[in-house]
Amino acid sequence: MILRSRFKAAKPLQALRRTYKVLAIESSCDDSCVALLDRFLSSEPPRIIDEARMTLNSALTGGVIPTAAHEFHQKTIAQLINGFLAKNGLGRSTPPDLICCTRGPGMVGSLSASLQLAKGLAVAWERPLVGVHHMLGHVLTANLPKKAQPDLGPPKYPFLSLLCSGGHTMLVLLSSLTEHEIVIDTCDIAAGDSLDKCARELGFLGNMLGKELERYVASIPEQVRADFASIRTHTRDNEFGLKLVLPLRSPKHEKVPAKMEFAFASFLSTIQEYKQKHFSEQPMDERTRMFLAYKVQELLFDHIVNRINVSALKDGTDRTALEAAGGKFSEVRDFICSGGVASNSVLREKLLKDLLSFNNSLKFHFPDLRLCTDNAVMIGVAGIEIFESLRVKSDLSILPIRRWPMSEVLLVGGYERVSEEEFKRICR
């Protein structure tokens, strides 16, 4: 269901010259990030002038601890921004024109560290503040130029976005900047969380273990990977005695369920049980470790592709289905893959190759790898869209929002209309 708000996107203006600078801040999880964007021309994506980040090291704690992240941001964000402003010649007499900051969803402590600072800067510099939905930021990175796809412009509404990160995994249908329908959500944990925890079970240490897992699997000799690919794990009847199956596909599940969901927790429980059964007393041999890493990554991504295919069959991608079954994807031509996990090349290849229900009618958008994981650039890009298209800003009473469905971006309150005079002053 799409919920509507009282704020509507204004009709796109002709290419207008814009010369305003945007400071963007993001700290929803374990990264303190800041970016400076130049809004140069309304017909062009904003230009990135500079960005900086610091990341909490969670290698020893086996995951991000919210209180540690809160403390980390409180220590780092002011220093990080102070140095960043000085480096870019910004300050009391030369402030940026617009301030954008993540408002949610995320860890409340982490969010509040930068939101408070952003409010302070907005008051001190008398500049408007836009509190941004983190996931909208991930989606709108697709509006920026992509190194690997230089000829691909921004996606056109309606489009689909697979948001695949450490905290969220969902397929969203966007009909406009503010009309979003969550088509598939996860019923347990996010894909990135599952990959990180599986990798930890396999002995990897550090942050961003999904990335480490990808590197490790890519380093397995090609012939060995080909052998692994031919070994089926739908029963334990294989040389490793491993049963690992696609979630939600057993006979007890409906082939086409009424509610479409992803499920990633079973990958972790399978690996934990397998380790306990086969290697509780001794270290795992390298070939088994390779096999488990390979199969987890393959099947987890196969599950994502499979659920999207089933969803497309259910909701219809063509005109006939439009009449027969709603056909909600019939006008969709663009597919965006964003979030940290979406930078994985195996997932990208599978989406390109295996999304068969769409009959090769999709243009895929793969944002640059550095913009896939959390960053402040995406918050600036989304903040500019909100400010210019909806002509709204946030009031100074806004609080961090821990859980904030994407379908309710504008329904949370705390928005104020931007006056014509203020809009003209900034978008001069």
Q: State the residues that interact with ligand AMP by CB under 6 A.
A: 165-167, 192, 195-196, 208-211, 214, 339-341, 343-344, 373-374
The answer to whether the beta carbons of residues 51 and 36 sit under 8 Å apart is: yes
Closer of 266 and 357 to ligand AMP (Cβ): 266
Closer of 373 and 389 to Zn ion (Cβ): 373
Closest CA relative to residue 373, chosen from 349, 344, 346: 344
Q: How far is the CB of 2 from ligand AMP (least distance, A)?
A: 25
165 binds Zn ion (CB under 5 A): yes
Q: How far is the CB of 38 from ligand AMP (least distance, A)?
A: 24
Measured CA distances, 346 to 115, 298, 301, 377 (Å): 36, 8, 8, 25
Q: Give dist(CA 317, CA 313) in Å, integer.
A: 7
Closer of 136 and 341 to ligand AMP (Cβ): 341
Closer of 33 and 427 to ligand AMP (Cβ): 33
Stretch that binds Zn ion, among 3-11, 201-209, 370-378, 420-428 (CB under 5 A): 370-378
The 17-26 sheet, strands edge to edge: 47-55, 31-41, 17-26, 98-104, 129-133, 392-394, 415-417
Q: Give dist(CA 134, CA 378) in Å, integer.
A: 8
The DSSP output letter for 236 is S
Q: How far is the CB of 385 from Zn ion (least distance, A)?
A: 17
The DSSP bridge pattern shows strands 392-394 and 415-417 to be antiparallel
In 157-203, DSSP assigns E strands to 159-164, 169-174, 180-186
The answer to whether the beta carbons of residues 96 and 88 sit under 8 Å apart is: no
Q: How far is the CB of 26 from ligand AMP (least distance, A)?
A: 10
Closer of 169 and 266 to Zn ion (Cβ): 169
193 binds Zn ion (CB under 5 A): no
Closer of 210 and 383 to ligand AMP (Cβ): 210
Q: How far is the CB of 254 from ligand AMP (least distance, A)?
A: 29
Burial of 413 (0-12, 13-18, 19+ CB in 10 A): exposed
Q: Give dist(CA 121, CA 341) in Å, integer.
A: 33
Q: How far is the CB of 246 from ligand AMP (least distance, A)?
A: 18
List the one residue from 26, 374, 385, 388 that touches Zn ion (CB under 5 A).
374
Contact of residue 305 among Zn ion, ligand AMP, none (CB under 5-8 Å per partner type): none
The answer to whether the beta carbons of residues 316 and 325 sit under 8 Å apart is: yes
Contact of residue 341 among ligand AMP, Zn ion, none (CB under 5-8 Å per partner type): ligand AMP
Closer of 96 and 167 to ligand AMP (Cβ): 167
Q: How far is the CB of 25 from Zn ion (least distance, A)?
A: 14
Q: Which residues bind Zn ion (CB under 5 A)?
A: 165, 374
